[in-house]
Amino acid sequence: MKKKILDNVKTIFYALVIALVIRSLFFQPFYIPSSSMEPTLLIGDRLFVSKYSYGYSRHSFPFSPRLYGKRFLPKRPARGDVIVFKTPADNRTDYIKRLIGLPGDTVQISNGDLYLNNIKVDKLRTENTKIINCGKRIINVNSFIETLPNGINYEAVYNEEGTMMNTDKYLVPINHYFFMGDNRDCSKDSRFLGSVGYVNFNNLVGKAQIVFFSNDKKKGSFFKFWKWHKSFRIKRFFKGIL
């Protein structure tokens, strides 16, 4: 009997160690709780983030232990990557945004257009209006396909009733990055220097790779199986993130 209990304890211990290794070194699941990355990511999406994409820092591990001050096996992110990072304000909270500005870049919004290094980012209007979440509100937005200098394109939306037309010119410090949400007028991101601002390379957790599950809570909880046909977003299952 004691041997059986000991064997079960060992099995659970080994399983936890394996799960910890996978979570720390390879892939970690994340849940999307806000609308700041709509329409790319929706509230209720669950996704996998690759931990190895940019190498490893203390934030790659649970509870962010202060074991090593730099990044191990560092790999620089590419402009346009959708990345999970720890906010500089507390080094604890996970945010997910799109990488817009690299170290040394200037970033500015002028007359509603995004500029990188004083060059306007190309954008193409896709449709007149689209309905998007903005916190607890529903808003109409103008939708554009923006194309970054490295050719990466994505859909970004701007509030139809008024957007952030003009900002200061942001100069991204060395070893830092500038992030923005695709839902431009409903995103707390690097434009807000007091709360997010520039993100240190060591604060990057990993690259968002794939949505493996998505459930719309407004149409039914996961535990209400009789509403799964309404709440499950089947088309989003195993959808790559661009």
Mean pLDDT of 8-27: 58
Instruction: Determine the Cα–Cα distance for residues 115 and 17; give it in Å rounded to an integer.
Output: 46
- Is the confidence at residue 8, as pLDDT, over 60? no
Helix (H, G, I), strand (E, B) or coil at 195: coil
Query: Could you report the per-residue pLDDT of 188-230, keeping only the tens digit for each?
Result: 999 999 889 999 999 999 999 999 999 998 888 877 878 888 8
Q: What is the DSSP letter of 59?
A: G
CA-CA distance, 146 to 122, in Å (whole number)? 6
pLDDT one-digit tens code per residue, 39-93:
999 999 999 999 999 999 888 877 777 777 788 889 999 999 999 999 999 999 9
Q: Phi and psi at residue 60, in whole multiples of 5°? A: -75, -15
Both tokens of residue 108? Answer: 């500015």
Query: Count of domains in the chain?
Result: 1
What is the total residue count of the chain?
Answer: 242
Structure tokens at 26: 């390879």
Contact call for residues 193 and 97 (beta carbons, < 8 A): no
Mean predicted confidence (pLDDT) in 134-138:
88
Closest CA to 86 of 76, 98, 96, 101: 96
- The two three-digit tokens of residue 104, written as one number: 């040394």
Poorest-pLDDT segment among 15-29, 36-50, 109-123, 226-240 = 15-29
- Catalytic center residues: 36, 97
Which two three-digit tokens encode residue 63? 């509870």
- The pTM of the full predicted model, rounded to 2 decimals, is 0.89
CATH code: domain of residue 132: 2.10.109.10
Domain that holds residue 78: 2-240
CA distances to 27, 43, 145, 172, 185 from 214, in Å: 18, 8, 24, 34, 24
Contact of 155 with 184, CB cutoff 8 Å: no
Output 123 or 224, whichever has higher pLDDT: 123
Cβ-based neighbours of 65, under 8 Å, separated by 6 or more? 58
